[in-house]
Structure 1
Amino acid sequence: MTKAKWLLVLLCVMNLGLAAMHLSGYFFLFLKPTGYLIPLVINIIVLFFINKKLWVGLGLVVGIPALFIHGLMILFMEYDYTKIDSPYDSQSLMIEYRDVTLGETTYFYNFYKTRFGVIGKLLENQSVEFMVRGPEYPVEEGAEAALGAHNPTWISKDIVRFNSWKGAKDVYLASSSSAVSTKEIDNFILKAESNSDGETITINGIEFITRYNPKAGQRWIDVLSDGDEGPIPRQQCSRIVRNEERGYYMLEECTHQWEYELYPLTDGQ
């Protein structure tokens, strides 16, 4: 096989690989700031090398306009990036963000989980968008401050909580971690208040069980976590309540401390 054919095969493998990754939600993170500009340039250079006569004209007619349009798209979208490292040393979270100001400022965020910082997977249905007005918040602090990206809380190895200007946002790096809704939590609260015994719910990887002692007329909630470490360790609490002011379900009157922020009232969306 000639050198030209080898180059053509490698080019096809690269293009098919990038297409397959894109369709499955995976990306080379180092390509995100410029999109697919680098692969596009590689395609033009390799094809030009393989057949100069054919690709000189095609490069001028197709390649240059494609690069120009792509450049405009990058210019107008212009995302920035920051990485949040996990204290569990298992994986990290890459945040893709930008803002648009038209009287008010609108912030856009996408999230990617990554283990080594090279390849990331888009966390679908977890993107965030919210609008703020200048008098409400100091917009000059930027998009990272608006999200609360400088002080995130790792609820578990698969859950990161941001305290944004518009309330709490929980990002789930594993789909199984988000298998709860505010409706389910409300139903669990009703069952606890009706003195049900043995009802369970799992929130952010922690199991909660309603308990009731009819002789003593006492009810409580058992909190079962992976030991005594983490934001909410194993213990007993009196109740879960909705706190509209703080924007959280609160776990109250617990063995180790009075209360814990348990889960956002808005499902973290």
Structure 2
Amino acid sequence: MSLNHASCQAGGATLLRDVSVAFEAGRFAAVLGPNGAGKSSLLSLLSGQRAPSAGQVLLQGQPLARHAAADLATRRALLPQDLSIAFDYTVQEVVELGRYPHRRRPSPHERDIVPRAMQATGVGTLAHRVLNTLSGGERARAQLARVLAQIWEPPPSGESRWLLLDEPTAALDVHHQHAVLRQARIWAHRHGIGVVAVLHDLNLALRYADQAVVVQAGQVLAEGPPATVLDVATVRRVWQVDVHPVRDGEGCLQLLMA
């Protein structure tokens, strides 16, 4: 999946300008940048929520618009920032919505997918709770189970699957932030899913992502391995803070405020 000289405009404002960046199935990419940089707009182009005002969004080498919406829904799932719902659905009912695109061609293992998705995100014990009565973190994990259920199995065609996450750790405590991103990395490496996640925490990106894409003022400023891209000079330029790189007890590169 890639953006090829893509721009995005809304309400007379240019949200993204001439962006070209490629993402690979089987890898975890983190999209980073200050508030208002264009991170969510980039994700909205990848998801098809917005059409580019110029350039292209490509999937399997073809413009996104050429892919049937019903087909895309079986192999590409989006977790948005707004996780609220209008009805009093239980957690299990919300996760079951992720299987709706597969209703005409259900999996031989259909019965097991929703429970396994809830188990993977730690909400199995909340299955019969009404989603709107849960904490923000619990709702986030339930919605994560929904999108995971949506792309749980490879399509018969063998085409790539994609998981698009817009600030998936925003409502989570530290333990669940690491649990969710650890799981996302497993989905990418073990199951070949392309994961693209908007993150704010640079250290989480350094620990879990294979690729970092830094966005500033609607353009891609830097792209590549996180340890290379998130250097002291780039962090100072983009976030206007000074950091000091260190290795933690597991040997992972981390950035400390200088």
- TM-score bracket relative to the smaller structure: under 0.3
Higher-Rg member (1/2) = 1
Larger RCO: 1 or 2 (CA < 8 Å, sep 6+): 2
Task: With the length of structure 1 as denominator, give the TM-score of the two structures.
Answer: 0.25
Task: With the length of structure 2 as denominator, give the TM-score of the two structures.
Answer: 0.26
